[in-house]
A and B are shown apart, each in its own frame.
Chain A
Amino acid sequence: MPEQTTGQTAAPSEQVQDLLTFVRDEVCLLPLDLQLETDLLLTGAVDSLGVIRITQWLEDELGIEVDPIEVTLENFRTVGLIVTYCQTKGAAL
């Protein structure tokens, strides 16, 4: 499998940090040292409900509209990929 890039090199912005905190503290089912590149799916830390809660958070906190067809494995596998996805939707992160 190709290496997945997160598109993040600088220190995470405040909003990215908020997203990480939200996912770690309110979504993850198991205690996890969550990083931008942590695979949320292989670890079993996030379930389908968690994905819904993440999309709700993105809509509420970043003001973007998340189209269900874009909520895919490719866009949501890591927090870093979620950030990249939000940037394509025009969110300034």
Chain B
Amino acid sequence: MSEPVASLASLLSLAAERDPDGVAILDQGTTTSWTEAVTQSGRMAAALLDADVQPGDRVGVHYRKSADSFLAMHAVVQQGAIAVPLDPSASGSYLNSVIEQTGCRVVMTHPPCLATIHTMVQSSSLDVVLGVAEPTDEASTHATFLDRAAMDLLTPIDPIEVDLDWPAYIITTSGSTGRPKGICHTHRSAMAYVRFKEEAYDFGPADRISDIAPNHFDISTLALWVTPFVGATNVIVAEQYQMFPASLSKLMAEEQISVWYSVPYLLTQLLNRGSLNEVDLSKLRWILFGGEVFPTEALRTLMDQMPAARFSNVYGPAEVNACTIHHLPGPPEPNSPIPIGQPVGDTQVQLVDDQLNPNADKGEIWVQSPTMMKEYWQQPELTSRAIWTDQQTGEQWYRTGDLGWLDQNGDLVFAGRVDHQVKVRGHRVELEAIEAVLEDADQIVHAIATVARNTDGSDIVISGVSLHPGSSLDVTALRSHCADRLPVYAVPVVFYPMTTTSDTGVPTTGSGKLDRRTLRADLDRLHTSPKISPKDQPNA
């Protein structure tokens, strides 16, 4: 294995040594040089030190996409602390469960997140908030606040010497019970990923790389860590552009983005509603996509519209970062799946059947890679279930839960899941977690959740719920109940009433349990049936 020489802590200062005046960050026309990036992250790091943040401490990083969302991640790892990026769209209650799970005492944030921060400090263990002023119109809290202007008065400090095996960041997803699961990467695993990316692509200082995925979504690791390593410019794409493909394509042209990395959903939105023929995207030379399956027809059309750009399918659960890549030689054949390709760098992949035999034609994708996470934060049982250790050799394999097979070119092709995990616009969603949260609501007896495809090609979570006698379906209350406990993308968009098991033949399994698999399929059919709307449908 190639030994990474640098840690994440030194990425900004190394970039500044190479090219002090080079543009580190471009945020809607405003630029930050590498030298300024070092100074600003050094001031943020000084604020962390003043707050007594020590190596190994977890620090919440709660920002909408901005120059500060990039700098704050670097400031935390520069101090040897562990960054816990928080979903800026999630509710304060959900984020408090993340804070609790990871044991954050300090959070870094900025004014656009103020409302959520207020909710969080009222009922969590947070005692320092960096980046916003103390609220004057709210009940006082025990937390100390330091706003950005005050942080700017601090003397920047240098990164500390970090051990490569120290944890660097924790990405949380909702586990199958609804309890957040923290995927913990070390400086070593993150730097191995950075090296792989450098090897797989010829990114350089002339590139402008999109920084579009929120930091809690692992697609962001390219912009966060690889961009400074190769000395390219990080182009911030604020969330609101993602909602408006016509504004987004204009921004891509104006900021001359050369490397794009997002989920396919965003690219299909650009294709369908981005008015691509109205903008000059000639600088866009490489499009990477990952996180979910790209519908073949949409990709064919997009590639036809952008003949100058290379397209690559990137695969890898957050636990192992990216581990395989497929560079498309040209537009894919109709009706053929897009392969997830070949392992990168020192990564090894094997297909294991359900009897645990390796080298299966089709099986679960197991990955061995220096990019593998250290653990699920403080959940050793979960970790030992996910990482299989060979008792003889000590080799460790991450069991992805994804199924795959090899095509005639030896390329890996994704073939679904071994469990009930699904993807919603690239985000992992555990259906059991959504159902458990719904069934926890007062008025609900049983709940079924599934993911359905909308006519525009996007996926949404839909649910069927049966109510206690005398209860009525209060969609607003139910949505709010879910938003307190789940990430936003997992909150059901549509609720269908179901009759209760007591008075109808709702399918059950042999053991009398609810037959969730059948009900989910029924629900999907119900939703995609054009004649029936949620309001007039009594049974799921």
**In the complex, chain A residues whose CB is within 8 Å of the CB of B525:** none
**In the complex, chain B residues whose CB is within 8 Å of the CB of A25:** 475-476
Shortest beta-carbon distance from B87 to chain A in Å: 9
Q: Is B508 an interface residue when CB atoms closer than 8 A count as contact?
A: no
**In the complex, chain A residues whose CB is within 8 Å of the CB of B89:** 29, 44, 47
Q: Is A93 an interface residue when CB atoms closer than 8 A count as contact?
A: no
| Chain A residue at minimum C-beta to C-beta distance from B491 | A29
- A51 pairs with B243, CB closer than 8 A: yes
With beta carbons under 8 angstroms apart, the residue of A42, A52, A70 that contacts B458 is A52
- B88 pairs with A44, CB closer than 8 A: yes
**In the complex, chain B residues whose CB is within 8 Å of the CB of A70:** 246
| Chain A residue at minimum C-beta to C-beta distance from B274 | A68
Interface string of B455-492 (1 = CB under 8 A from A): 01010100000000000000110011001000011010
Q: Is A72 an interface residue when CB atoms closer than 8 A count as contact?
A: yes
- A48 pairs with B269, CB closer than 8 A: yes
Give residues 49-74 of A contacting B (CB, 8 Å).
49-52, 68-74
Shortest beta-carbon distance from B270 to chain A in Å: 10
Q: Is B393 an interface residue when CB atoms closer than 8 A count as contact?
A: no
With A and B bound together, what is the CA distance between A25 and B243 in angstroms? 19
Q: Is B273 an interface residue when CB atoms closer than 8 A count as contact?
A: yes
With A and B bound together, what is the CA distance between A71 and B112 in angstroms? 23
With beta carbons under 8 angstroms apart, the residue of A50, A68, A74 that contacts B275 is A68
Q: Is B240 an interface residue when CB atoms closer than 8 A count as contact?
A: yes
Interface size on B, residues (CB 8 A): 36
| Chain B residue at minimum C-beta to C-beta distance from A54 | B243
- A73 pairs with B112, CB closer than 8 A: no
- A69 pairs with B278, CB closer than 8 A: yes
Shortest beta-carbon distance from A26 to chain B in Å: 8
**In the complex, chain A residues whose CB is within 8 Å of the CB of B483:** 29-31
**In the complex, chain B residues whose CB is within 8 Å of the CB of A51:** 243-244
- B476 pairs with A69, CB closer than 8 A: no
Shortest beta-carbon distance from B11 to chain A in Å: 29
- B456 pairs with A52, CB closer than 8 A: yes
Shortest beta-carbon distance from A32 to chain B in Å: 10
- A73 pairs with B458, CB closer than 8 A: no
- A48 pairs with B242, CB closer than 8 A: yes
Q: Is A46 an interface residue when CB atoms closer than 8 A count as contact?
A: yes
Q: Is A91 an interface residue when CB atoms closer than 8 A count as contact?
A: no
Shortest beta-carbon distance from A76 to chain B in Å: 7
With A and B bound together, what is the CA distance between A92 and B266 in angstroms? 33
Give residues 437-461 of B contacting A (CB, 8 Å).
454, 456, 458, 460
**In the complex, chain B residues whose CB is within 8 Å of the CB of A52:** 454, 456, 458
Interface string of A12-32 (1 = CB under 8 A from B): 000000000000010001110
Give residues 239-283 of B contacting A (CB, 8 Å).
239-247, 265-266, 269, 272-275, 278
With A and B bound together, what is the CA distance between A75 and B257 in angstroms? 24
A interface residue numbers (CB < 8 A to B): 25, 29-31, 41-44, 46-52, 68-74, 76-77
B interface residue numbers (CB < 8 A to A): 64, 88-89, 91, 112, 115, 239-247, 265-266, 269, 272-275, 278, 454, 456, 458, 460, 475-476, 479-480, 483, 488-489, 491, 493
Q: List 15 A-B contacts (CB under 8 A).
A: A25-B476, A29-B479, A31-B483, A42-B112, A48-B242, A48-B265, A50-B243, A51-B243, A52-B454, A68-B272, A68-B273, A68-B275, A73-B240, A73-B247, A76-B243
